[in-house]
């Protein structure tokens, strides 16, 4: 659910019988379809739909496993989790950010925007607990590209953090990079490491002790 460009769907396709990849963005589904054509993958069906939709109406159907990777949105995570759980026959997997996730907080703040951290994984684990779900948890570190050939390349690499960045915001981030980038062996880098971890939580439906 909320599959994006197929980060999970494409690598999984070769290991399962079929996949239904759902996203509300046609652009994302087009990317999934492009990867399928490029990789001669014919067991991934794309479906345009939203978390908020009635999934029976969307005909998402039921699946051995349902997955929401980095895609739980909004304030009502419980209802999203209920939808995933209902659509799964065997197991559900969700992944959420630990702490600030992939954001570089000082760099983000340099734009002048207030950083809204969103919910830590513990928030979601508590919801699962309250739902009577005893989820497994594992953590996956994500490595970030942290060396660039130029300041502009460094800037372009950070753009994903800013939806609809204005010229003024961009100037402030550029100034931040100018102030902080250091040259190491011919390439530019920030003087601090960016730690990013994702929490993976999963549960098997028929193995819940106290549901
Ligand atoms: C951070 S991306 C994660 C994509 C992919 N699952 C991954 O792990 O790389 C979040 C995705 O959620 C989708 N999305 C956001 N709001 C949505 C909604 N209300 N219903 C369905 N998809 C949504 C976006 O289009 C985007 O592809």
| pLDDT tens per residue, range 121-137 | 999 999 999 999 999 99
d(CA 201, CA 124): 9
- Atom 15 in ligand 1: residue holding the nearest Cα: 2
Name 124's Cβ contacts closer than 8 Å, sequence gap at least 6: 72, 77, 81, 94, 96, 199, 201
Q: What is the pLDDT of residue 146?
A: 81
| pTM attached to this predicted model | 0.84
The structure tokens listed for 204 are 């098997």
CA distances from 103 to 10, 18, 95, 97, 185 (A): 25, 33, 16, 10, 26
pLDDT at residue 207, as a whole number: 56
Mutation pick for ligand 1 pocket among 1, 3, 4 (CB with most ligand atoms within 8 Å): 4
Instruction: Report which protein residue has its CA nearest ligand 1's atom 26.
Output: 4
Q: For each successive 10 residues of the chain (211 residues), what is the average pLDDT?
A: 98 97 98 98 98 94 96 92 97 92 89 86 96 96 84 93 93 96 93 88 76 49
96/199 Cα distance (integer angstroms): 5
| pLDDT number for residue 210 | 47
Residues having CB closer than 6 A to ligand 1 are 2-4, 7-8, 23-25, 28, 50-52, 69-71, 73
Separation CA 76–CA 124 (nearest Å): 10
Tokens read off for 142: 């994500």
* Residue with CA at minimum distance from ligand 1 atom 8: 69
Q: Which CATH superfamily is domain 62-205 in?
A: Vaccinia Virus protein VP39 (3.40.50.150)
């Amino acid at each position: 659910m909320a599959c994006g460009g197929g980060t999970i769907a494409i690598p999984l396709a070769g290991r399962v019988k079929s996949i239904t990849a759902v996203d509300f963005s046609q652009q994302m589904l087009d990317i999934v379809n492009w990867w399928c054509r490029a990789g001669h993958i014919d067991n991934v069906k794309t479906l345009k739909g939203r978390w908020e939709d009635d999934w029976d109406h969307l005909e998402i159907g039921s699946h051995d496993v349902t997955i929401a990777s980095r895609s739980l949105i909004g304030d009502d995570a419980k209802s999203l989790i209920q939808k995933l759980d209902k659509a799964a026959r065997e197991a559900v997997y969700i992944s959420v950010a630990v702490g600030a996730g992939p954001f570089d907080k000082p760099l983000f703040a340099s734009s002048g925007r207030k950083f809204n951290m969103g919910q830590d994984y513990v928030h979601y684990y508590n919801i699962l607990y309250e739902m009577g779900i005893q989820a497994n948890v594992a953590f996956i570190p994500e490595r970030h590209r942290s060396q660039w050939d130029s300041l502009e390349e460094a800037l372009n690499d950070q753009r994903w953090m800013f939806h609809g960045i204005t010229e003024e915001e961009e100037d402030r981030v550029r100034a931040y990079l100018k102030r902080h980038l250091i040259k190491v062996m011919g390439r530019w880098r920030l003087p601090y490491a960016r730690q990013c971890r994702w929490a993976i939580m999963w549960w098997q439906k028929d193995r819940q002790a106290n549901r």
